[in-house]
């Protein structure tokens, strides 16, 4: 069994959405200062690095991070290579979604977590609707957002969130070949936050969903 870590590292050099809270760390206790233990305190946006968007991110009555259904984040997932094609409905023409409830799109050749990409691909609203109609319960991407960087209406987010589809962003799929894997990407149980960082991994092989 091979476990593939598809999570961006979190640190002071991690890139964030322009204008968002950067990752900051301070030591509240340090053995070097004579304390008995080392204890770090972190300040960060919940959208830093690899994360899931809760419904409250885009809708006032949406789900908070702690309310997200955990079963959406564990199970078989199809990785689709979208590096050389548009991220629209046509990408599914040659994809068999039979029995697939989680889809991850690889859109880039490589990921540099310290650099926010100048441009990136995001699923069209039409693609989102087609995924919803196919019964997909989680959509992920190696891009920072499910919508264009300049979008104010966040149409793709709304289509997915309104249908109860979980969203994963900023995955690291650089070394992942297309195919079916087992995904584990659990959000933290933040009771008030709109979204949450995740530690996302793929395991080679398909886990039969229950």
Strand ranges (E), 30-148: 39-43, 51-53, 74-81, 102-106, 138-141
Return the pLDDT at 208.
58
Query: Which backbone phi and psi does 197 adopt, to 5 degrees?
Result: -65, 155
In the chain, where the domains are located: 3-7+46-204
Neighbours of 61 (CB within 10 A): 6
Q: Residues 138-172: pLDDT tens digits?
A: 999 999 999 999 999 999 999 999 999 999 999 99
| Residue appearing with tokens 């968002």 | 20
Q: Which residues participate in catalysis according to the annotation?
A: 57
**CATH fold for the domain made of 3-7+46-204:** Glucose Oxidase; domain 1 (3.50.30)
Among 42-46, 96-100, 167-171, the minimum mean pLDDT is found in 96-100
| Mean pLDDT, rounded, for 44-57 | 98
Q: Residues 167-183: pLDDT tens digits?
A: 999 999 999 999 999 99
Neighbours of 201 (CB within 10 A): 15
Tokens of 121: 């691909």
- Measured in whole angstroms, the distance separating CA 22 from the mean position of its chain's CA atoms is 18
Quote the percentage of the chain above a pLDDT of 70: 98
- Structural contact between residues 17 and 45, judged by C-beta atoms closer than 8 angstroms: yes
Confidence check: pLDDT of 112 > 70: yes
Tokens of 127: 């693609």
Return the pLDDT at 148.
95
| Mean pLDDT, rounded, for 116-129 | 96
Give the three-state DSSP class for 180.
strand
């Amino acid at each position: 069994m091979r476990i593939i870590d598809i999570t961006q590292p979190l640190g002071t050099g991690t890139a964030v959405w322009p204008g968002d809270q950067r990752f900051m760390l301070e030591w509240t206790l340090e053995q070097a200062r004579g304390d008995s233990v080392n204890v770090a305190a972190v300040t960060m946006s919940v959208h830093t690095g690899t994360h899931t968007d809760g419904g409250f991110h885009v809708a006032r009555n949406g789900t908070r991070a702690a309310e997200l259904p955990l079963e959406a984040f564990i199970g078989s997932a199809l990785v689709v290579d979208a590096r050389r094609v548009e991220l629209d409905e046509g990408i599914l023409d040659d994809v068999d979604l039979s029995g697939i409830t989680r889809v991850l799109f690889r859109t880039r050749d490589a990921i540099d977590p310290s650099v926010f990409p100048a441009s990136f691909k995001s699923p069209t609203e039409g693609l989102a609707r087609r995924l919803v109609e196919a019964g997909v319960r989680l959509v992920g991407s190696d891009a920072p957002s499910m919508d264009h960087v300049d979008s104010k209406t966040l149409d793709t987010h709304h289509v997915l969130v309104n249908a109860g589809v979980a969203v994963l962003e900023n995955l690291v799929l650089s070394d992942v070949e297309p195919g079916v894997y087992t995904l584990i990407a659990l959000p933290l149980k933040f009771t008030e936050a709109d979204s949450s960082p995740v530690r996302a991994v793929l395991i080679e092989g398909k886990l039969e969903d229950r």
